[in-house]
Structure 1
Amino acid sequence: MKRIFLLLLIGSYLGFGPSATARPLAARPTYFELKVYHLKTARQVAVVDSFLQHQYVPQLHAAGVGTVGVFKAIGNDTAVDKRIYVFTPFASLSQWEKLRQTTAPKLLAAGGSFENAPYNNPAYGRLETIFLKAFDEMTALTAPKLTAPKAERVYELRSYEGASEKIFRNKMQMFNAGGEIKLFNRLGFNGIFYGEVLFGAKMPNLMYMTSFANKADREAHWKAFGADPEWKRLSALPEYQNNVSHIDITFLQPANYSDL
């Protein structure tokens, strides 16, 4: 009963539920869960990597989630905070809730070095979860059109923070109605998702991920973006000034078992 109430409460906040105006199914946005494993040692990286490849991702596939992205931060080998990112799209909140109910017991029952790690030698440092709602301009996950080997690809995850809710929503409008996503698409940025963070540590903020064949390809795309007349026009509009207070950029590479 508590779970049903929670879903109704969240659904009401997100714009659907008993009191919400119904929208056609095709127009309903996708929701994204982004898990970030913070790791301290190479052993933890290996344990989490094995768990994701052999247990977690197969369980999600079996539960009907066809695409799960797993990424490692470039430079993990020498970083103090080594990170593995797990990106999962959901067609609805009910799908997310059902998956939590059905997969968690199976993963616990399967055991292994991840689930059975002792308190004084844990499998990871901390687990961060970010939950997002897809933008209106791009309501679903889009797989990248890349032919380069996964080991050469560069995925760029960006987070844009706003100084206030009002200013943050102005930046969201710039992406949607303003045409920023359309510009990314025209220039071939291979955008995977664009979303509003509903639950996370850096709100109010939006996040999006683009993908490139390699680092040189990434640099060439951003150079073209900065020089594009449409971007110069859009970024000069008075209504879109000072709508980002902080930017975080993370470069990622997909795991060899990632679906993206």
Structure 2
Amino acid sequence: MKKALMMFALSAVALCSATLTALAGGPGSPANTPPSAPSTKYYEVRIYYPTPGKYEAIVDRFRQYTTKIFEKHGMENIGYWTPTDTSRKELIYILAYPSKAARDTSWKHFGADPEWKAVVAKTEANGKLVDHVTSIFMTESELSPVVKPSKQSPPRTFELRTYSTHPGKMPDLIARFRDHTRALFTKHGMTNIAYWMTQPKNADEQPQLLYILAHPSEAAGKQHFDEFRKDPVWEKVKADSEKNGPITTKVESVYMKPTDYSPMQ
């Protein structure tokens, strides 16, 4: 009996210690736990620029028709957003496919679908809705949590960030995020949603790190980033990682609000 009580007491101490370590952001904390192997899915960011006066119409067409027809053809809806800067008339969304070949096949079948053709005829009776589309192809980074639908009420504000690096510096950037940055984001109230590596279209282009964070609001996101940048731990990490020169050449940020039909909110 005494031996059993002793084993129970030791187990309780170990559990308590592990819990405290996690809360402190130590090695066993969720922020520092290495993610599982990245998915082999093929991803695509698509940015739609509507024709003048057609912004609401294109957003609504996705709400009523497009997302459902995507699913019909094996495309996975990841998220749909519009910039918080209302002067930017853009619809930004991300799809996932089993592979690049599957992506090409799905779009071919989608474009030829009579249901989709009927939707286009109906919604564009008074003119085209889309002026042009930008596509960015990606694969999951080793940094990424599992990419899956997640909703909160009220909906969160999302931030799409894109990092370009000096030649040969991408491994340094990945290491900095893996060993430090993600955990510091969590420490300062930011949620790591997903991380991807872009797939350059031309041989002379370098891949970029593209990722999404979630914030309670745009104001909170900006405040948390200011606190992150002033964190002495981050200041040391940045200085140590850039002893041989800067890592990034450009960082782009877009704050976004999810549409009401986005799987991520």
With the length of structure 2 as denominator, give the TM-score of the two structures.
0.72
Q: Which SS does the other structure have where 2:90 is aligned? A: strand
The structure 2 residue matched to 1:34, chosen from 42, 45, 51, is 45
Please name the residue that 2:25 is paired with: none
Please name the residue that 1:58 is paired with: 68
Deviation sequence 1:37-59 (CA, Å, 0-9, x none): 123523x2122112211222112
Q: Does 1:128 align with 2:134?
A: yes
Shift, 1:208, TM fit:
1.0
Please name the residue that 1:112 is paired with: 120
Q: Could you list the runs of 5+ residues in structure 1 that have no partner in the other structure?
A: 1-24
Evaluate the alpha carbon distance shift between residue 258 and residue 226 of structure 1 in structure 2; reply closer, same or farther with a 3 A threshold: same
Deviation sequence 1:29-77 (CA, Å, 0-9, x none): 44321000123523x212211221122211233345554311111223x
Q: CA separation in 2, counterparts of 1:75 and 1:139? A: 27
Q: Does 1:234 align with 2:234?
A: no
Evaluate the alpha carbon distance shift between residue 175 and residue 31 of structure 1 in structure 2; reply closer, same or farther with a 3 A threshold: farther
Deviation sequence 1:139-171 (CA, Å, 0-9, x none): 6315456332x3xx321111111232x123432
Computing the radius of gyration from Cα coordinates, the structure with the larger value is 2
With the length of structure 1 as denominator, give the TM-score of the two structures.
0.73
Q: Does 1:191 align with 2:192?
A: yes
One-letter code of the match for 2:152? L
Deviation sequence 1:177-233 (CA, Å, 0-9, x none): x33233334444222211111136985422111111112321332133223343223
Q: How many residues align?
A: 225
Where do residues 87-236 of structure 1 align in structure 2 (5 Å cutoff)? 87-106=94-113, 108-112=116-120, 116=124, 121-138=127-144, 140-144=146-150, 146-148=152-154, 150=155, 153-164=156-167, 166-176=168-178, 178-199=179-200, 203-236=206-239
Where do residues 5-24 of structure 1 align in structure 2 (5 Å cutoff)? none
Q: Which SS does the other structure have where 1:140 is aligned? A: coil
Q: Could you list the runs of 5+ residues in structure 2 that have no partner in the other structure?
A: 1-35
Identical counterparts, % of pairs: 17
Deviation sequence 1:114-135 (CA, Å, 0-9, x none): 77568xx431221000011111
Evaluate the alpha carbon distance shift between residue 114 and residue 46 of structure 1 in structure 2; reply closer, same or farther with a 3 A threshold: farther
Whether the aligned pair in 1 keeps the contact of 2:150 and 2:263 (CA below 8 Å) is: no
Greater CA drift, 217-226 or 94-103: 94-103
Q: Which SS does the other structure have where 2:228 is aligned? A: helix
Q: Does 1:257 align with 2:261?
A: yes
Deviation sequence 1:69-126 (CA, Å, 0-9, x none): 11111223xx2x52110112334334424422332222543333577568xx431221
One-letter code of the match for 1:163? H
Shift, 1:27, TM fit:
4.6
Whether the aligned pair in 2 keeps the contact of 1:157 and 1:249 (CA below 8 Å) is: yes
Q: CA separation in 2, counterparts of 1:189 and 1:91? A: 29
One-letter code of the match for 2:142? D
Please name the residue that 1:12 is paired with: none
Q: What is the CA RMSD across the aligned residues, in angstroms?
A: 3.0
One-letter code of the match for 2:44? E
Q: CA separation in 2, counterparts of 1:163 and 1:242? A: 8
